[in-house]
Amino acid sequence: MRYYSVWAVVCVVVTITSMNVFAEEEPLKLGMIGLDTSHVIAFARLLHNTDDPNHVPGGRIIAAYKGGSDDLEASYSRVDRFTEQLETEFGVEIVDSIEELCTMVDAILLTSVDGRPHLEQVRPVFEAGLRVFIDKPLAGSLEDALAIAALSEEHGVPWFTSSAYRFYDSLQALKEKDVGEVRGAISYGPCHLEPTHPDLFWYGVHPTEALYTIMGTGCETVTCAVTEEFHVVTGVWQDGRVGTLYGLRTGATPHRVTVFGSEAVADQEGRGTYQPLMAATIDFFRTGIPPVSPEESIEIFAFMEAAHESIRRDGAPVRLDELPGMK
């Protein structure tokens, strides 16, 4: 695929050594865009509360832009509460524009719960030359996700996006298990729908990200079956591996990954916290090396878009390279 040659092959592992180095450096001044998700408070606590055993050193949120989406209940019903909490509990200054915010900080956490405004919200960040973490979902469409990657290349500014699932200790431990050659995986997890976003883009991005954490890039074709209770998406990778996503919408909705190897089958055990994601984010802000390549993040969105297209085609297989922008 032809996109993101600048960042496509880079990745980083957060180590105890690097964390100790960051702790000794002057904390980065961080800005936050979009205060309509519980992640706002969770991230602030990890960064600011030094007594927390999960404290992540190296950065403090000093200013934020409220944002919010008038047509999305998950946004407009919570944005005022989280804004007030961020201001009163953590002493964060609320500013009137993203452009003003960018003049005050070293890096940006783009946390708007709605993926649709992310492209326009990140544009002034790239223009200011600031590194940015874009919380899930990266965008509200594959087209916008591709545009974000193109803007990054145009301005020469690195970025990354990820679900916290990828960094859970339990999933990383599964990734390190010796199962021989990985031949496939099943990922299942919550997949609640939101009418403003394509099927999997809203919450299905979590288990999709977990699937890609094990499988990596290289998916060629996708088929999807959908009922009132499930999205079941099967991807065939170019080397013959098969990855399956079970998106759960009713009853119990836990998340777990099972890996099928040439020597063993292994299951994810336990859950995780936001701490490893935030540690990886601070590391990225320091180094400029994304822990998840843009190539992989874009393929995740192409996988989800291909699933959506397969539904429109009554379950027929869809090649990722036939999607607009994915040649």
What's the CATH code, domain 169-271+304-322? 3.30.360.10
Ordered by start, the domain boundaries in the chain are: 16-165+274-292, 169-271+304-322
Contact between 39 and 82 under an 8 Å Cβ cutoff? The reply is: no
Please give the order of strands across the beta sheet that includes 107-110. 93-95, 59-65, 28-33, 107-110, 131-135, 159-162
Report how far residue 142's alpha carbon sits from residue 209's, in angstroms, rounded to the nearest whole number: 15
Q: What is the pLDDT of residues 176-199, one digit of tens each?
A: 999 999 999 999 999 999 999 999
Q: Is 56 helix (H, G, I), strand (E, B) or coil?
A: coil
- Would the CATH topology of 16-165+274-292 be identical to that of 169-271+304-322? no
**24: confidence class by pLDDT, cuts 50, 70, 90:** low
Contact between 257 and 210 under an 8 Å Cβ cutoff? The reply is: yes
Q: What is the pLDDT of residues 204-222, one digit of tens each?
A: 999 999 999 999 999 999 9
**164: confidence class by pLDDT, cuts 50, 70, 90:** very high
Torsion angle, alpha carbons of 7, 187, 78, 145, to 10: 30
Report how far residue 140's alpha carbon sits from residue 179's, in angstroms, rounded to the nearest whole number: 36
Instruction: Report the chain's mean pLDDT, rounded to a whole number.
Output: 93
Measured CA distances, 64 to 30, 45, 47, 69 (Å): 9, 15, 15, 16
Report how far residue 163's alpha carbon sits from residue 191's, in angstroms, rounded to the nearest whole number: 13
What's the CATH code, domain 16-165+274-292? 3.40.50.720
Q: Is the pLDDT score of 135 beyond 80?
A: yes
Contact between 23 and 55 under an 8 Å Cβ cutoff? The reply is: no
For the segment 57-68, the average pLDDT, to the nearest whole number, is 98
Q: Which of 77, 59, 55 is nearest to 68 (CA)?
A: 77
pTM, to two decimals: 0.90
| The pairing of beta strand 265-267 with beta strand 230-237 | unpaired
* Residues forming a β-bridge with 95: 65
Q: What is the pLDDT of residues 231-265, one digit of tens each?
A: 999 999 999 999 999 999 998 889 999 999 999 99
Report how far residue 262's alpha carbon sits from residue 195's, in angstroms, rounded to the nearest whole number: 41
Contact between 220 and 236 under an 8 Å Cβ cutoff? The reply is: yes
